[in-house]
Structure 1
């Protein structure tokens, strides 16, 4: 058993320029010597959508390795923890191998985080599952969301590790009006997206629900935005650069920027602000 010791700790607000209105992530900047039980215990205690642990990489291609935990389990990849952990790592005085990018090793493999002055964006990892939802699962989501089949314009697996599925509705208003009964989909990782017609600066509204890992609604979700971006841009449903608002039903004001390069790489970025710097005994 590892004896508790003092470790560097940060909490980062991700995806909002308005203080304390994004999605926070707790970052333990030295996770060496901690086992899975230790990490899961802290994630359960912080009760944030994710808590991360920075570790030495196992490959020389990466700057660090990251383990990502929700209150209910470990994820191979998650978006806002990737950006928030990169920001905390830089803020703690670390230097990446290349000035313009950070390479994160995680359960999903190597993830590139692009640096453009103070802005950070991660390259969407490949989806491990895509394609339309099967009708039975689609109907479960429709019932849980309290909507009709006619309201669903399209649907898709956008799973890059966590297990995401998404429904596309006609409008942001319909997305914001959802009152899901998550007891009907306790194993789900699902969301809904709809287009804005009255929100200057934002093209879509997204909501994400993750009862499978103990997070009823995520205030701002980078991994789902990544998978949804790959889907919408590839089908021409969205332009190669657009902005998503998220979290308003939770009193947040997240803003996520999704862009695609000429080679098809989708990047997901937004504001990252270190809100808490300190230590934790763990």
Structure 2
């Protein structure tokens, strides 16, 4: 692309069917020629939780290369950028099966368009796993500004899980406790920032043993995200957390995640955990997206940026 041309982008809200709900995403559909520093500068300028940049696929392969940036860092894999980018590409190129080549590897995405607005379902390139024990429940309660007993322990205890991006999963007593949670940034810095799972996923369920619906919030100061309204990569890692609480059934186990409600951006994330022989065999995350606008970023302004 000539240096004089502006960079077009599409703005979508992901994991929702309602404008101004879900998680916003900017998709730069023709990013050839951009450097890593330029992509990071653009993501910092737009200040969305993530911004994606689309390139041609690796030589000899099909699909699209996708780079994902938060305002502070590049991510190897993320859910709402994958879902949103896939639906933007589907709108312009069509196709029921896409492959997005992300830093973590190829991510297959199916487009479901039989009824209503299209939805996208990604298959995680990595099986999630528990990676570490979490800090004590009483410390996590103080981290969230909650009282004694509001962070659960025992059979339903916090844990650190990852499918490429590590999260500390913190189960809380009820929906009211989830709504009151406020992250203590100073305590996070000293207790979790340098730990194995610095990103915080707080969740609650009415029935931890058999329920399929849950509510969640996600805080990621390490990514420059105060709170995220919908987090697909955390949903993938959640599969490992849930498998640690109960015996998942053979076949497909489906869960519905509500997130973003306490931010005024309600989101719905669909999680399917495939189980074979008592082990997680695959994880799929799905949802919709709504196009709310677009524009172009000035290449001339980008070239004049400081730093």
Q: Give the TM interval when normalised to the shorter protein.
A: 0.7 to 0.9
Partner of residue 170, structure 1: 173
Provide, for residues 9-33 of structure 1, a one-character-per-residue CA deviation record: whole Å limited to 9, x for no partner.
1011101122111100011111111
Structure 2: distance between partners of 1:100 and 1:273: 18
Identify which of 106, 111, 122 aligns with 2:102: 106
Provide, for residues 87-106 of structure 1, a one-character-per-residue CA deviation record: whole Å limited to 9, x for no partner.
11122x224xxx43211111
2:247 paired with 1:222: no
Structure 2: distance between partners of 1:46 and 1:100: 30
Structure 2: distance between partners of 1:34 and 1:71: 16
2:280 paired with 1:281: no
Identify which of 171, 180, 183 aligns with 2:183: 180
Structure 2: distance between partners of 1:62 and 1:233: 34
Q: Which stretch shifts more, 118-127 or 24-33? A: 118-127
Structure 1: distance between partners of 2:127 and 2:147: 28
Relative to 1, partners in 2 of residues 1:171 and 1:49: Cα closer, same or farther, differing over 3 Å?
A: same
Provide, for residues 37-86 of structure 1, a one-character-per-residue CA deviation record: whole Å limited to 9, x for no partner.
11011101111000110011215444011111111111111110111111
2:144 paired with 1:145: yes
Partner of residue 286, structure 2: 269
TM-score norm. by structure 2 comes to 0.80
Provide, for residues 119-138 of structure 1, a one-character-per-residue CA deviation record: whole Å limited to 9, x for no partner.
211113325752442447x6
Give the alignment's Cα RMSD to 1 decimal: 2.5
Partner of residue 94, structure 1: 93
- For the residue of structure 2 that corresponds to 1:185, the secondary structure is helix
Relative to 1, partners in 2 of residues 1:204 and 1:128: Cα closer, same or farther, differing over 3 Å?
A: closer
Structure 2: distance between partners of 1:242 and 1:212: 27
TM-score norm. by structure 1 comes to 0.87
Q: Say how many residue pairs are matched.
A: 273
On the 8 A contact 1:208/1:221 being kept in 2, the answer is yes
> Map of 1:1-282 to 2, 5 A cutoff?
3-58=3-58, 60-91=60-91, 93-95=92-94, 99-117=95-113, 118-126=118-126, 130-135=130-135, 141-147=140-146, 150=149, 151-152=151-152, 153-186=156-189, 187=193, 188-196=198-206, 203-233=213-243, 235-236=245-246, 240-261=253-274, 263=276, 264-282=281-299
- For the residue of structure 1 that corresponds to 2:58, the secondary structure is coil
Structure 2: distance between partners of 1:261 and 1:59: 32
- Name structure 2 gaps, 5 residues minimum: 300-307
On the 8 A contact 1:209/1:215 being kept in 2, the answer is yes
On the 8 A contact 1:196/1:205 being kept in 2, the answer is no
Structure 2: distance between partners of 1:30 and 1:17: 26
Provide, for residues 138-157 of structure 1, a one-character-per-residue CA deviation record: whole Å limited to 9, x for no partner.
66544311235642231222
